[in-house]
Copies of this chain bind each other. A is one copy, B any other.
Amino acid sequence: MPKLVDHAARRAEIAAAVQRLIDHEGLDGVTVAKAAATAGISVGQVQHYFASKDALLEATYRQVVERMGARVQAAVRESVTERLPIRAVVTRALREYLPLDAASASDHRVSLAFLGRTTANPDLAGLHTETLAATRGQLALAVHNGKECGEVPGDTDAKAAAARLFALTDGFALHLGAGLDPEETVETLREEVAAVFPGRCRQWK
């Protein structure tokens, strides 16, 4: 057999180049030729690793979404191993959704660019809706656990509280790029979560 190449890694590299390109020239500015130039390879090589331009863009989007999810999961795992209260876990998790550093800001911009295409692309819209629903579900579960644990009052509507916190976070993420102070925003988000989780856990989980 010929030269051995890690296909997945190469695809990831190319997708990363496409992300830089989107960041710089927008989703519409992406052409296969420019993607190849950004990645420092030939057009033919891009074609070798992606069957079509659509496949290339889909892989790029998937990579961005996965990285955003991974950031949140990492924050959750870290908080859980530190035996922090659910309130703190949720606060850290939601904080990870905000475009506070360069990397997550780029991810957010790119995911926003794709979001603008959901209008005419049912597949993309479906993926987006599913992702939102999953996140909202996890958040609702956290609130529910908070009720069982004693951090959240018993009369709280877990689903409504989750929807509210999530919408607030996404709204902040949207507005952060447009003249909102990061520190104040994070502080407000912290207070909002604290308002939903006012109690203390009765037992160590």
Contacts and interface: CB of A to CB of B under 8 A. Distances in A.
Interface of A: 22-29, 109-110, 112-121, 128-129, 132-133, 136, 160, 163-164, 166-172, 174-175, 177-180, 184-185, 188, 192
B172 A160 contact: no
Contacts of A177: 129
Per DSSP, are chain A's interface residues mostly helix, strand or loop, or mixed?
Answer: helix
Contacts of A112: 115-116, 118-119
Given A167-B172, A171-B174, A117 B119 contact: no
Given A164-B168, A175-B166, A28 B180 contact: no
Given A26-B120, A28-B117, A115-B116, A171 B167 contact: yes
Contacts of A116: 27, 112-117
A118 B163 CA distance: 27
Contacts of A114: 116
A119 B184 CA distance: 24
